[in-house]
Structure 1
Amino acid sequence: MINTYTALLLAVLTIPALVVADYRQWRPGRYLCKPLAALAFLALAWSLGALHSSYGQWLLAGLVACMAGDLLLMFERQSAFMAGLGAFLVGHLLYIVAFCQLPGTVGALWVSALPVAILVFASWRWLAPHVPGDMRLAVRLYIAVIAAMLLAASTTWGNPAALWILPGAVGFALSDLAVARQQFVLSERRNGLWGTPLYFVSQLLLAASVSSV
């Protein structure tokens, strides 16, 4: 069975390799490294005892959904993108359920509401001119679910796991902007230079939160 150190080593080796493969548009490297990088955050959560708590079980389910999204987004087709979007939406929803398993403070919602609202407004205003009419509803729904995930993450404030959850949730949300820019605004290799490592590091942080529960 893979242990924590092996999972982290797998992440350290595959994430930079994936960034390079994507930048050079080397598909074999992408098809090899992306599943392995996703496997790393699954293995990390598993090795830290995700199955031993309701929080860990829901989080692990969210990580599985995100891995499915990763695999689908490897294929540059509209149908694959929509399926991947759906998988990530499910991942966000499962994270919301996971965060709600932890004791925290509802008062943190009031603190986080304004920055989350600003992020939602700015993201949609930036994307709206570029999103095709047949995808506007789906993108709006996805942004709304991201907002709900961030608000749910904020309620863990005061819990030891929040040290991992909050940066992981914020990083995951911001990494989605790189995907949106690539898909709707401007398709260029630089999007992956920051979006890919931010995404995988964020998932590793969320996986690591299991250790604090």
Structure 2
Amino acid sequence: MSLFEYGLDTPLPGTLLFSAVAAFLYLLMVSRPPSARRTGVKTLAIALLAVLSVLANGPVLLTAGLLACAIGDALLAQDDDRAFQLGIGAFLLGHVAYIALFVTEGRIDLFSEQPLRIIIAIAIIGFCAVVARRLLPATGALKAAVSAYVVVIALMALFSLMMSGWGVVAGALLFVASDTVLALQRFLMPAEEGTPWRALFVWASYYLAQLLITLAVLGF
């Protein structure tokens, strides 16, 4: 059933609308210094997608993944190295939940039915390998954590190819793109060069990734 067959005054589309509004508000705040308001708006955008999953009786693993990512958002919104490390951990858990979701609900035979998925899988592996080789030497004490994150997000993208349709796959690829730019910005790019535009891309692609995954898994 389409989400938009529900009235705007009903919980499902209303929750989605509030999530989108929060995402837009954070887009306007993305270059501002950390604050409670900025953190709250950022966290709310994804937390409301988790609420949408609950209201739609979605898979527990989808809800768990969204909640873990919302916690990660709250932590990464802080200008603090310890919060950044904890944020990586939260997103790791979120990706693990997504991997479990794709494995339990996906179909391995899609690779034989749609060979394009094999090509995309090879491209994901190659891309993540190149990013890791360029990125890891610059991560210092965070090398182990970042290495684990690269492996897990690559696996998340690969297992997304087991899901029917292309919504989940598109979301997973956008997730990889968003996190790649975020990682390159933090570890390799000078802070003063084009940061607002990079920050806008990171948030927009990340939110769209979560939205696509959520709506596709829920069947909307």
TM-score (norm 2): 0.83
Q: Over aligned residue pairs, what C-alpha RMSD do you find?
A: 2.2
Q: Relative to 1, partners in 2 of residues 1:71 and 1:125: Cα closer, same or farther, differing over 3 Å?
A: same
| Structure 1 residue runs without a partner (length 5+) | 51-55
**Counterparts in 2 of 1:1-213, with a 5 A limit?**
3-25=11-33, 27-50=35-58, 56-106=59-109, 108=111, 110-132=118-140, 134-156=141-163, 159=164, 162-186=165-189, 187=191, 188-212=195-219
Identity %: 28
Structure 2, unmatched stretches of 5+, are 1-8, 112-116
Q: Distance in 2 between matches of 1:173 and 1:10?
A: 25
User: Which whole-Å deviations, capped at 9, do the CAs of 1:38-79 have from their partners, x for residues lacking one?
Assistant: 2222122223221xxxxx111111111111111111111111
Structure 1 residues 113, 26: CA separation in 2 closer, same or farther (over 3 Å shift)? closer
For the residues of structure 1 that align with 2:106 and 2:16, how far apart are their CA atoms? Answer: 28
After TM superposition, which residue ranges in structure 1, 4 or more long, deviate above 4 angstroms? Answer: none
- How far apart are 1:138 and its partner, in Å? 1.6
CA shift in 2, pair 1:207/1:2, >3 Å: farther
Residue 90 of structure 2 aligns with an amino acid whose one-letter code is: A
- Contact 1:3–1:43 (Cα < 8 Å) also in 2: no
Determine if contact 1:131/1:184 at 8 Å carries over to the other structure.
Answer: yes
Question: Using CA pairs below 8 Å that are at least 6 residues apart, which structure has the higher relative contact order?
Answer: 1
Give the conservation status (yes or no) of the 8 Å contact 1:42–1:64. Answer: yes
